[in-house]
A and B are shown apart, each in its own frame.
Chain A
Amino acid sequence: MSAITRDEVAHLARLSRLALTDDELDHYATQLDAIIESVAKVAEVAAEDVPPSSHALPLTNVFRPDEVRQSLTPEQALSGAPAVEDDRFRVPRILGEEA
């Protein structure tokens, strides 16, 4: 049985905002299937009572003082923008929640 179906890959592509062609979906489905089967080996390590590590080091409580620092200029901020209007980032129409 395969670890991942083509439909699941299509769902992942949608979640990841990747417009994949049908051929690409097939291709990635095969590859991801092999990779997932291989990485599933993590399950073989007995670790029920082991706490997970999200970080390499056990640091805690790193904060900065509430001080204002120099921001970028609007020119710098917008320098890489694909489209600009009125000192704002111009983006294609948004389908979504009414704000």
Chain B
Amino acid sequence: MTMVYDEALERFEPVLGLETHVELGTNSKMFCGCRTAFGAPANTQVCPTCLALPGALPVANAAAIESTIRIGLALNCSIAEWCRMARKNYFYPDMPKNYQISQYDEPLCFDGYIDVEVYGETVRIEIERVHLEEDTGKSTHVGGATGRIHGADYSIVDYNRAGIPLVEIVTKPIPGTDRLAPEVARAYVTELREIMRSLGVSDVRMEEGSLRCDVNVSLMERGASEWGTRTETKNVNSLRSVERAVRSEIERQAGVLAGGGRIVQETRHFHEDTGTTTPGRSKEEAQDYRYFPEPDLVPIAPDPAWVAELKAALPELPSVRRKRLQAEWGLSDLDMQAMHNADAIELVEATVKAGAPAADARKWWMGELARRANETATPLADLPITPEQIARVTELVASGALNDKLAREVLEGVLAGEGTPDDVVEKRGLKIVNDEGELSAIIDEVLAANADAADKVRSGKIAAVGALVGGVMKASRGKADAARARELILEKLGVSA
């Protein structure tokens, strides 16, 4: 029996822990020169080293080491002066050597933190370690009812992913989040993702597995001093799932504890469809990974001067940048948070950089485009429109060539693949009518057709001009400049504005 969330939080206090794996976006793998492209045909990106052919040896990728140190620095970590890679020994068919080259008691980066914001409150997440390791191959399970591992007849393995550099970021236990635990977990992963993006070290696509998250949750009775037993939930493949997994695990554990049961330390799996977790294989014997220093690789001793250089050259971090942009754009905390949640900050910033006023950029991304993204369930950044194009549209509006309504139509055209904003204006004939002669002719027609209204205006009921302007807009199919039309109408009727 699960317990409803509010009740669970009344009785128990959650403690979180997050382990995040980030696939680095290097050109080549961690220990060999194979490509790292996602989605390549099976076993086309493998060599003696990443297939673990007898005799092959690893050589560490300099860019991966540098990226890991930059990640560590961005997470306020200390950087090891000397450390080694280690072998983590366990047999598994998707791991060619049957040991993973990883790090054990000597991580490259350790003891850091990041601050995340949830509902205007700052929560500090302490980072235990950041270390470098390699990814495994990918198994496809054949036969059985569900295509899942259980009940499968056999599996087929593609080792293209084996050996891609993987950075593991482990938090210290996070107590005190209370009922905000799910949101804190999500905010942390969101923040990590943005930091990775700003560093340019990974494309951090959860749906492609280049950012993967394991969520540890334990509960303790309110007032208790000792933490409870934790579970580790894997297979959490989206930000939303991070939040849901924490919530569902809290509800489940609370139910077990309240019913007098006890929590087993185990691996669990999150299911997107149900939003719940199920236990992984129970471990009959405790894993003994027999870590030892990797003899095929020599120790890493980053030159402190080089580390200082890397630190000095770090880009402005997302949280700092957000504060700066908020001030520059003059936005409230709430507006900024909304943009953050919508993943719109970078897009708005790029649009501003391309020449658009901040207010306009924000208006389009958070309005029209956010709506479109929502409707089509597409991340905002993946809409087929660029910040430069948005900037061009705002420019056309500012110059009077477009009004808001036309601008919306232009965006629609761009999203529909009709080309650049200028192409769409051209093809759809959307340019505002600001040829005085053409406009004047339209106005004359409208005045003739609406003699009553014209008379009212002449007699001083200026408010009646609205109907006439509306008529002009209708007659021009929206392309007239409404303000100019109003001016001209009043002029023609001999009324001063």
Q: Do chains A and B touch in the complex (CB under 8 A)?
A: yes
Q: Point out residues on A near B: beta carbons under 8 Å.
A: 11, 14-15, 17, 54-55, 59-74, 77-78, 80, 85-99
Q: Do A55 and B298 touch across chains, with their CB atoms under 8 A apart?
A: yes
Q: Do B61 and A66 touch across chains, with their CB atoms under 8 A apart?
A: yes
Q: Do B158 and A88 touch across chains, with their CB atoms under 8 A apart?
A: yes
Assess whether B119 is interfacial by the CB under 8 Å rule.
Answer: no
Per-residue interface assignment for chain B, residues 430 to 472, with 1 indicating a CB less than 8 Å from any chain A CB and 0 otherwise: 0000000000000000000000000000000000000000000
Q: Do B43 and A99 touch across chains, with their CB atoms under 8 A apart?
A: no
Give the dominant DSSP class at A's interface.
loop
- Kindly provide the distance from the CB of B106 to the nearest chain A CB, expressed in whole angstroms: 11
- Once bound together, how far apart are the Cα atoms of A71 and B48, in whole Å? 8
Contact of A85 with B156 at beta-carbon distance under 8 Å, contacts A66-B27, A68-B27 already known: yes
Assess whether B92 is interfacial by the CB under 8 Å rule.
Answer: yes
* Inter-chain contacts of B60 with A (CB < 8 A): 62-64
Contact of A62 with B297 at beta-carbon distance under 8 Å, contacts A68-B28, A88-B157 already known: yes
Q: Which of A68, A88, A93 contacts B35 (CB 8 A)?
A: A68
Q: Do B33 and A69 touch across chains, with their CB atoms under 8 A apart?
A: yes
Q: Do B65 and A87 touch across chains, with their CB atoms under 8 A apart?
A: no
Q: Which of A11, A77, A90, A98 contacts B269 (CB 8 A)?
A: A98
Which single residue of chain B is at the shortest CB-CB distance from A15?
B288
Q: Do B27 and A87 touch across chains, with their CB atoms under 8 A apart?
A: no
- Once bound together, how far apart are the Cα atoms of A66 and B33, in whole Å? 7
Within 8 A of A (CB), among B281-316: 281, 285, 288, 290, 292-293, 295, 297-302
* Inter-chain contacts of B46 with A (CB < 8 A): 71-72, 77
- Once bound together, how far apart are the Cα atoms of A55 and B27, in whole Å? 29
* Inter-chain contacts of B28 with A (CB < 8 A): 66-69
* Inter-chain contacts of B154 with A (CB < 8 A): 90-93
Q: Do A98 and B150 touch across chains, with their CB atoms under 8 A apart?
A: yes
* Inter-chain contacts of B53 with A (CB < 8 A): 80
Known contacts A66-B28, A88-B42, then 13 further A-B pairs from the complex at CB < 8 Å, ordered by chain A residue? A54-B292, A61-B301, A63-B65, A65-B63, A68-B33, A68-B34, A77-B46, A77-B51, A88-B140, A89-B43, A91-B156, A94-B149, A97-B280
* Inter-chain contacts of B153 with A (CB < 8 A): 93
Per-residue interface assignment for chain B, residues 139 to 152, with 1 indicating a CB less than 8 Å from any chain A CB and 0 otherwise: 11110000011101
* Inter-chain contacts of B290 with A (CB < 8 A): 15
* Inter-chain contacts of B59 with A (CB < 8 A): 62-64
- Once bound together, how far apart are the Cα atoms of A61 and B85, in whole Å? 12
Q: Do B34 and A60 touch across chains, with their CB atoms under 8 A apart?
A: no
- Once bound together, how far apart are the Cα atoms of A80 and B28, in whole Å? 24
Contact of A88 with B26 at beta-carbon distance under 8 Å, contacts A60-B82, A64-B61, A74-B41 already known: no
Contact of A54 with B156 at beta-carbon distance under 8 Å, contacts A77-B43, A87-B43 already known: no
* Inter-chain contacts of B159 with A (CB < 8 A): 77, 89
* Inter-chain contacts of A61 with B (CB < 8 A): 298-302
Per-residue interface assignment for chain B, residues 46 to 88, with 1 indicating a CB less than 8 Å from any chain A CB and 0 otherwise: 1110010100000111111100000000000000001010000
The interface on chain B, measured as residues whose beta carbon lies within 8 A of the other chain's beta carbons, has a size of 63
Assess whether B122 is interfacial by the CB under 8 Å rule.
Answer: no
- Kindly provide the distance from the CB of A83 to the nearest chain B CB, expressed in whole angstroms: 8
Within 8 A of A (CB), among B146-189: 148-150, 152-159
Contact of A71 with B149 at beta-carbon distance under 8 Å, contacts A66-B26, A98-B269 already known: no
- Kindly provide the distance from the CB of A23 to the nearest chain B CB, expressed in whole angstroms: 24
Contact of A99 with B91 at beta-carbon distance under 8 Å, contacts A59-B298, A63-B60, A67-B33 already known: no
Contact of A91 with B155 at beta-carbon distance under 8 Å, contacts A54-B293, A71-B44, A97-B267 already known: yes
Q: Do B152 and A93 touch across chains, with their CB atoms under 8 A apart?
A: yes
Which single residue of chain B is at the shortest CB-CB distance from A11?
B285
- Once bound together, how far apart are the Cα atoms of A73 and B43, in whole Å? 8
- Once bound together, how far apart are the Cα atoms of A63 and B104, in whole Å? 20
Assess whether B403 is interfacial by the CB under 8 Å rule.
Answer: no
* Inter-chain contacts of A74 with B (CB < 8 A): 41-44
* Inter-chain contacts of A64 with B (CB < 8 A): 33, 59-62
- Kindly provide the distance from the CB of A16 to the nearest chain B CB, expressed in whole angstroms: 9
Which single residue of chain B is at the shortest CB-CB distance from A89?
B157
Q: Do B41 and A99 touch across chains, with their CB atoms under 8 A apart?
A: no
- Kindly provide the distance from the CB of A5 to the nearest chain B CB, expressed in whole angstroms: 16
Per-residue interface assignment for chain B, residues 226 to 265, with 1 indicating a CB less than 8 Å from any chain A CB and 0 otherwise: 0000000011000000000000000000000000000000
- Once bound together, how far apart are the Cα atoms of A11 and B157, in whole Å? 28
Q: Do A54 and B280 touch across chains, with their CB atoms under 8 A apart?
A: no
* Inter-chain contacts of A94 with B (CB < 8 A): 92-93, 139, 141, 149, 152, 155
- Once bound together, how far apart are the Cα atoms of A67 and B48, in whole Å? 16
- Once bound together, how far apart are the Cα atoms of A93 and B150, in whole Å? 9
Q: Do B51 and A72 touch across chains, with their CB atoms under 8 A apart?
A: yes
Q: Do A66 and B293 touch across chains, with their CB atoms under 8 A apart?
A: no
**Quick one: which of B28, B64, B65, B91 has the most chain A CB within 10 A?**
B28
Q: Do A95 and B281 touch across chains, with their CB atoms under 8 A apart?
A: yes
Q: Which of B157, B281, B293 contacts A91 (CB 8 A)?
A: B157
Assess whether B45 is interfacial by the CB under 8 Å rule.
Answer: yes
- Kindly provide the distance from the CB of A63 to the nearest chain B CB, expressed in whole angstroms: 4
- Kindly provide the distance from the CB of A13 to the nearest chain B CB, expressed in whole angstroms: 13
